[in-house]
Structure formats: structure tokens, C-alpha cells
Amino acid sequence: MIEFFFRVLDYALPIIGMIFVGLIGTSMLMELGLMQKFSRLVSPIFAHTNLPETCASAFVVSIGSTVAGNSMLSQEKKENCLDDREVLLCAMMNSTPAYFRELFTYQIPIVLPALGLVVGGFYSLVFVVTAVFKILLIAVASKLLLKGNSCRAPETQKKEKVSLKTTFIRAFRKEFRAFLKIAGVYLVATSIIFVLQDRGAFEIFSVLPLAELFKIPPESIVPLTSYVASPILGISLLGPMIHSGEITNIQAMIVLMLGSMFMLPIFAIRSQLPGKVAIFGTKLGFQIVGYSTAISVLVRLLILLVLLSITS
């Protein structure tokens, strides 16, 4: 029991720290009246949507930290500036900068050297396509589902200068109670996920039947199964097979897409769901993770079908 407790803390504390920084940092930015200035930076992206201006501000913040951007949306929702539908679309939009950040933190330094220029470049391109597709889908959904929101980012007001220390103290007093609530929910949700994982709940995502259905070479079963558990491990095992000619580039791409389709729901439940539930509540948290994951899986399914049509 003690070992389990420390495992949960080891995983959860860094995320809780990011949530704390997101809440306090966002509150400080609002205190300083910088939100409206930030929203102008991404106005071209949001000009063709019905998303509110506060969503643009949160999007800019999420370029540096998705947690911080989502914390801002949560604050605006509490102040009745955003309704559930707007929060849902804005939170999904906040997830898109992470795809581009991963190009420099994951794709270029890890994936390209491991898989080679062709397969690695293809895999990186999938992330970019997913982000663009998600942005376009959110833009269309905002036009269909939202009527426009007059809620604006806080105006920059002329007032006496306040030190950062004073601003931090104000933000801390304002957000600390909310932080304790979110941290508590996150710890509980993370504990539940760990219990389910220890009891083998995620093992239902077996890739073996589909691997046989798509006639993937037997040699690729191990990296495919490993990818579902750990993408880095699967890529590490797949790379040598590509370079040695055991499987073709197209077969490797099929393995990656098939593995992604099974890995993404597991990753979403294990890594994203606790944080989203802690920040947005159970209903909205599940919706945000569910819709966002479904879009990512759909993109990979469509690409998989194209690859299969090429090999048939």
C-alpha cells in the first residue's frame, strides 16, 4: 500500500505542480491585464471561428503550457464567461500546440534517427496533419454550434503599478482553494487509473487479432505490441527491422498507425483524463478527452486505410 502511494505521488506531483503554476500564472496575467494583448497574437487563427476572445488568450498561454491554458478556461467558466460547449471546443483547441512542440522535443531528436527519414518523416507528418485537422474541425464546429460570445479577455487598465510579489500574493489567495480542490481530484483520479492498470484493465486492447487481419509480418508483432505499451520502446524495436529490410517502409507505417490507434485511448485514460477531470470536472473532462482522442484515432484510421489501399 505504501509503495502504491509513492508510485501515485511520483507520477502525480509534477503534474500537480504544473497545475499550480498554471492557476497562479494565469491569475497573475489577468491581474496584470495582459490577456487582451495575448489574444491579438493569434487573431488570424480565430478570425474564422465563433470561439470567444478568451479562448484565443488561453490558446496563446497553452503554447507554453497546456495546463496553464486549460486553467484559464476553467477560471473563465467559473466566472460564467464561458459555457460548457465553448469550454469543450476551446480546451480541444488548447491541445493542438502540443503537436508542434513535440516536433522539436520528440519527433526530430528521437523518431527521425530511430526510424529513418522516410518512416520517421511520415510519422512526424501524421502529428502535423492531426493538429491541422483538429483545428479545422473545431473551427467548423464553432460555426455550427456557437452563436458568438461577447465575453472578452480582461481589458488592460491604467492603474498604479503593482509589484510581481504583490500580484503573486493576490493570485495565490484567489486561487489556492481551487488548487487544493483540483489537486485532490487529480490524486483520486490518478489512484483509480493506477488500480485499474495493476488489475490488467488495459490489457483488453489486444493488437494481435488485428495484426493477423492486416497481414502484418510476424516479426512486427513484438514492436507493435510494445508500441501500445510504450511508443518509444516500439519505435526502438521497429527501427532496426526497417534498416535491415525485414519489413518495408509501408509495412512499418501500417504498424505505427495500427499501434497508435490502440495506444492513444490507453494514453488518454492514463495520462490525460485525470488532469482534465481535475480541472474541468467529470463530465466535461471525459468529453474533452473522448472527442480529442476520437479525432486523433480517426486521422490514423484514415491514413491506415490509405496505406492498405496502396499495398492491396
Indicate whether 94 belongs to any domain: no
Cα-based distances in Å from 198 to 57, 143, 201: 40, 43, 8
Helix (H) or strand (E) holding 150: none
Contact between residue 114 and residue 235 where contact means Cβ atoms under 8 Å apart: yes
Contact between residue 42 and residue 60 where contact means Cβ atoms under 8 Å apart: yes
Contact between residue 87 and residue 73 where contact means Cβ atoms under 8 Å apart: yes
Helices 249-267 and 112-145 pack at an angle, to 10 degrees, of: 50
pLDDT in tens, 48-87: 888 888 888 888 888 877 888 898 898 888 888 899 999 9
Contact between residue 172 and residue 24 where contact means Cβ atoms under 8 Å apart: yes
How far apart, in whole angstroms, are the C-alpha atoms of residue 177 and residue 172? 9
Domain that holds residue 279: 204-312
Indicate whether 33 belongs to any domain: no
How far apart, in whole angstroms, are the C-alpha atoms of residue 2 and residue 258? 37
Q: Is the pLDDT of residue 165 over 60?
A: yes
pLDDT in tens, 129-145: 999 999 999 999 999 99
pLDDT category at 153 given cuts 50, 70, 90 is: low
Number of domains composing the chain: 1
Q: What pLDDT is stored for residue 118 in this prediction?
A: 93
pLDDT category at 17 given cuts 50, 70, 90 is: confident
Residue 273: burial class (beta carbons within 10 Å; 0-12, 13-18, 19+): buried
DSSP state of 153: P
pLDDT in tens, 222-258: 777 777 667 877 888 888 888 888 888 998 898 899 8
- The total of other beta-carbon atoms located within 10 Å of residue 217's CB is 16
Q: Which of 164, 144, 165, 195 is nearest to 7 (CA)?
A: 195
Contact between residue 269 and residue 190 where contact means Cβ atoms under 8 Å apart: no
The rounded mean pLDDT for the chain is 81
Indicate whether 246 belongs to any domain: yes
Indicate whether 209 belongs to any domain: yes
Contact between residue 272 and residue 186 where contact means Cβ atoms under 8 Å apart: no
Q: What pLDDT is stored for residue 161 in this prediction?
A: 67
pLDDT in tens, 83-132: 999 999 999 999 998 888 888 878 887 788 888 899 999 999 999 999 99
pLDDT in tens, 170-192: 888 877 887 888 788 878 877 88
- Within the chain, residue ranges assigned H as helices are 2-31, 35-41, 43-46, 53-64, 66-78, 84-94, 97-102, 112-145, 164-198, 208-213, 221-229, 231-244, 249-267, 273-280, 282-311
Contact between residue 193 and residue 273 where contact means Cβ atoms under 8 Å apart: yes
Indicate whether 162 belongs to any domain: no
Q: Which residue has the cell 490502440?
A: 262
Q: What pLDDT is stored for residue 211 in this prediction?
A: 61
pLDDT in tens, 287-311: 999 999 999 999 999 999 999 888 7
Question: What is the phi/psi pair of residue 101, to 5°?
Answer: -60, -40
Indicate whether 140 belongs to any domain: no
How far apart, in whole angstroms, are the C-alpha atoms of residue 116 and residue 124? 11
Q: Which of 137, 128, 133, 152 is nearest to 35 (CA)?
A: 152
pTM: 0.78
Indicate whether 21 belongs to any domain: no
Q: What pLDDT is stored for residue 263 in this prediction?
A: 85
Indicate whether 281 belongs to any domain: yes
